[in-house]
């Protein structure tokens, strides 16, 4: 008798807990009081009109606003635009601008978004604005659970699904790297399933443009997925490939990299690789997480390896 497949539980999953910070009280804005568009384009988008500066722009331009998540950046809302009637996600930063340099650092995420042409495997950027020294970013609304949340669903997170997600994320990296952008914070928490079914990479708060940014001044990503070489060296595109490999290793193995039972990264690797059943997927992830960055495949190389796996060539 064939065992029944367990039902998908993704709709019932709650987001993993995250430290929630209280809003600062009594701080007067220094740089942006009324709402204004943030853009680095020659022809920037305009705010929804009419706009009353006595009320938050979010409440005027959107309806059916509901909080759907929060994290280190701030709060994420789902909301329906009054301009086009479509639903979007709105990220509101928790931290207000403390200095001009901090404001510039936060707005850099918008600059990265605007420098990239749209791609089916990137969370689509719509526009951004700042108000009372906070940054708001309007983006495509995906499913409310990230791949990190979905990890709890054995029905959806299979090795074949992980291979598909790896393909989608490698496609995203090919697009980023073609434009000299490195993400530097690739992890399951920043991967989402769009309404079109594609896996999409989001959160560009740590991203750098290798052609224009100072690569010695960057924010470290999550240490569980961070390429070891960038602790002492400038980051490269190979660091993104490593982080993607580590992300997919966690998802495919079912091993929780945040578990306190592990005392070292080596222990995590041994436990996770020991859980993989698919030989081809295991070899792919081993290549992507090679400790020597020059021996890792490029993002395009990852796609080529997946093509061989999908066609029965290992």
State the 10-residue block means of pLDDT for the chain, 314 residues long: 50 51 64 93 90 92 92 88 96 91 94 97 97 96 91 84 97 98 95 94 95 83 89 94 97 89 86 93 97 97 96 72
Residues belonging to the active site: 185
Predicted local distance difference test score (pLDDT) of residue 21: 46
- Gap between the Cα atoms of 153 and 189, Å rounded: 15
Predicted local distance difference test score (pLDDT) of residue 1: 35
- Gap between the Cα atoms of 302 and 54, Å rounded: 51
**From start to end of 104-228, where are the E strands?**
125-131, 134-140, 181-182, 191-193, 199-201, 208-209
Give CATH for domain 22-140: 3.30.200.20
Binding positions for ATP are 91
Predicted local distance difference test score (pLDDT) of residue 280: 94
Binding positions are 91
Give CATH for domain 147-310: 1.10.510.10
Where exactly are the structural domains of the chain? 22-140, 147-310
Q: Can you name the residues that pair with 87 across neighbouring β-strands?
A: 80
Instruction: Provide the whole-model pTM.
Output: 0.90
Contacts 24+ apart (CB under 8 A), 219-222: 219/184, 219/185, 220/184, 221/184, 221/185, 221/186, 221/187, 222/185, 222/187, 222/189
């Amino acid at each position: 008798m064939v065992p029944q497949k367990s039902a998908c539980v993704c709709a019932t999953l709650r987001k993993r807990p995250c430290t929630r910070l209280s809003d600062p009280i009594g701080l007067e804005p220094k740089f942006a009081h009324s709402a204004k568009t943030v853009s680095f384009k020659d022809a920037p988008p305009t705010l929804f009109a009419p706009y009353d500066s006595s009320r938050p722009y979010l409440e005027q331009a959107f309806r059916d606003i509901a909080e759907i998540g929060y994290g280190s950046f701030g709060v994420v809302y789902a909301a329906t635009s009054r301009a086009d009637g479509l639903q979007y996600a709105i990220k509101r930063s928790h931290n207000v601008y403390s200095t001009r340099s901090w404001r510039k650092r936060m707005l850099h995420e918008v600059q990265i978004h605007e420098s990239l042409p749209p791609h089916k495997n990137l969370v689509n950027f719509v526009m951004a604005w700042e108000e009372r020294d906070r940054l708001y970013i309007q983006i495509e609304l995906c499913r409310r659970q990230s791949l990190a949340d979905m990890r709890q669903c054995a029905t959806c997170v299979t090795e074949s699904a992980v291979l598909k997600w790896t393909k989608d994320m490698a496609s995203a990296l090919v697009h980023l790297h073609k434009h000299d952008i490195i993400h530097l914070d690739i992890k399951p928490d920043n991967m989402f399933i769009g309404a079109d079914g594609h896996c999409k990479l989001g959160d560009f708060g740590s991203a750098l443009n290798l052609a224009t940014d100072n690569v010695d001044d960057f924010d470290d990503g999550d240490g569980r997925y961070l390429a070891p070489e960038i602790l002492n060296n400038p980051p490269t595109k190979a660091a993104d490939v490593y982080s993607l490999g580590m992300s997919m290793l966690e998802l495919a193995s079912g091993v929780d990299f945040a578990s306190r039972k592990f005392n070292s990264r080596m222990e995590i690797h041994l436990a996770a690789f020991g859980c993989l059943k698919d030989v081809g997927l295991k070899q792919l992830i081993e290549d992507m997480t090679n400790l020597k960055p020059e021996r890792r495949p490029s993002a395009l190389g990852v796609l080529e390896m997946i093509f061989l796996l999908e066609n029965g060539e290992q």
